[in-house]
Amino acid sequence: MRCRRRVALGNLMLALSSCERMVTGINRAWLGEGPPPGPVAPPDGREIDPDFHLLSRASFGPWPGDLERLKSMGAAAWIEQQLHPESIADHACDLRAERFESVHFSAGNAYEFRKPVLRAELTRHTLLRAMYSRRQLLEVMVEFWTDHLNIDLEKGDCIYLKPSDDREVIRRHALGNFRELIRASATSPAMLVYLDGQANRVRAGSNDKPNENYARELMELHTMGVHGGYSQRDVYEAARCLSGWSFDRNRFWALNQGKSFFRADWHDDGAKTVLGHDIPAGGGAQDLDRLVDIVCSHPSTARFIAGKLCRRLVSAKPAEELVQRVAAEFSRTQGDIKAMLRLIFASREFAASPAALLKRPFKFMVSAMRALLADTQANSALLEPLQRMGQGLFQHPTPDGYPDEELPWMGTLLWRWNFAMALAANAQSGVRVDVLGLRRELGFAPAQWFAQLVGRRPAAQEAAVFEGGDEIRAVGLILASPAFQRC
């Protein structure tokens, strides 16, 4: 019996392996995932090419051929196309990333899966989307809002609920309207469980006090910022507005399965005052919408979100003038995310900021693999280095999400260097690259690797390290270099 099981398991693994090789073959032969037709021309200037700079920020790094494609379109047209991801065919990525069943299930139905399956499929789906999607700006913003509305898979039932949150909250609204994003998050089962919203009940005739956990994070982390001007009384009143919203995994009747719901008998329906705005008694479930309107329209929210976007996309210390312009655009458009991104990418401050940011581990890994046209199914062997670098997907334990600051990542540089050298040498488990074959297909000289990967010619000191000797080792050193670590 054991022998038969081993044979069956072996046959299953062989079938899966063959299927994965087939996907790669189809994608590269017919769906445009392979190298571009004809040679490429690596940037030849002493400064980072402006279009390369745009790709380094508005995507997870250039895929071979992306720079040439952007130049032929023009930066403004490329940005506009990326701001409308529905207009971009993404069949090759879909073939790789959409085969994970659990990412499509509702919050209620996801309980049919085991936790390790849910964890593996969500993280693999996320990495493959960042790696292969042609809708790169969407994926960049998915990562941004995932941090902004952080949910740790390891708390309570969040592992069952985050796949639908990723799909219905983050991905649906990543390039949409900020107010709609926050409204969707406020009633997301995953957020209700993560920040104890499902336990926020104030029953008539009892001494219940509202649970303030989500109300506090809504103001401090999701909208106004820690110095946004709210008081402890505002947090308490906001928690009263939110009382009664809940999630119950056992509520399976009719169309309610896997959805949050409002319990009027748990809601404090009295009059409330939040940030100077009076909310009359008797509002019921609509108190939540009134609260979301108040906090999303507050001037502190415009400034907080503008600053956070500028820190992620422009500079760790963005110019005050830029933050003010983005905040004004937030207010003018009532939180239109596309409008803010257009302003940021067209700004002189963005143009003047090449190499101003340290890549976080996820971006470093994905950009290195994209640059070398890597073939991966994002299995656990590939996710392990990301864990060692300190950015395991959906695992940040506190609600503030993974940091943008450089200092927290400095202690993990050794793991980056190890990954870079292993990737270039095709010695990293879970991913395949062919440095020499790729260079021949792209048609540039070995000495041009630095410009291809970094976006500019190397300085004399850099060239002395990278030029000559073993080409594969040189590529690994470039990926490990300070120049590639920045974007």
Q: By the 8 A CB rule, do 371 and 64 touch?
A: yes
Q: Which residues pair with 246 in a beta bridge?
A: 261
CA–CA dist 147, 168 (Å, integer): 16
CA–CA dist 228, 233 (Å, integer): 14
Residues 186-208 pLDDT 10s = 999 999 999 999 989 997 767 88
CA–CA dist 376, 96 (Å, integer): 9
Residue 23: the pLDDT is: 84
Q: What share of the chain is helix, strand, coil (3-state, %, to 5)?
A: 60, 5, 35
Residues 202-229 pLDDT 10s = 977 678 899 999 999 999 999 999 999 9
Q: How many CB atoms lie within 10 A of CB 118?
A: 23
Q: By the 8 A CB rule, do 88 and 81 touch?
A: yes
* pTM, rounded to two decimals: 0.95
Q: By the 8 A CB rule, do 225 and 262 touch?
A: no
From first to last of the 487 residues of the chain, give the pLDDT tens digit: 444 433 343 343 344 455 777 888 888 888 888 888 889 999 999 999 999 999 999 999 999 999 999 999 999 999 999 999 999 999 999 999 999 999 999 888 899 999 999 999 999 999 999 999 999 999 999 999 999 999 999 999 999 999 999 999 999 999 999 999 999 999 999 999 999 999 899 977 678 899 999 999 999 999 999 999 999 999 999 999 999 999 988 775 545 567 899 999 999 999 999 999 999 999 999 999 999 999 999 999 999 999 999 999 999 999 999 999 999 999 999 999 999 999 999 999 999 999 999 999 999 999 999 999 999 999 999 999 999 999 999 999 999 999 999 999 999 999 999 999 999 999 999 999 999 999 999 999 999 999 999 999 999 999 998 877 899 999 999 999 999 999 9
Residues comprising the chain, all counted: 487
The residue assigned the tokens 């964890």 is: 119
For the record, the structure tokens of 404 come out as 């943008």
What interhelical angle do 286-296 and 232-242 show, nearest 10? 140
Residue 66: the pLDDT is: 97
CA–CA dist 439, 434 (Å, integer): 9
For the record, the structure tokens of 166 come out as 């990723």
CA–CA dist 297, 276 (Å, integer): 13
Q: Which residues of 285-317 are buried (b: 16+ CB within 10 A; e: fewer)?
A: eebbebbbebbbbbebbbbbbbbbbbbbbbbee
In terms of Cβ atoms closer than 10 Å to its own Cβ (0-12, 13-18, 19+), residue 369 is buried
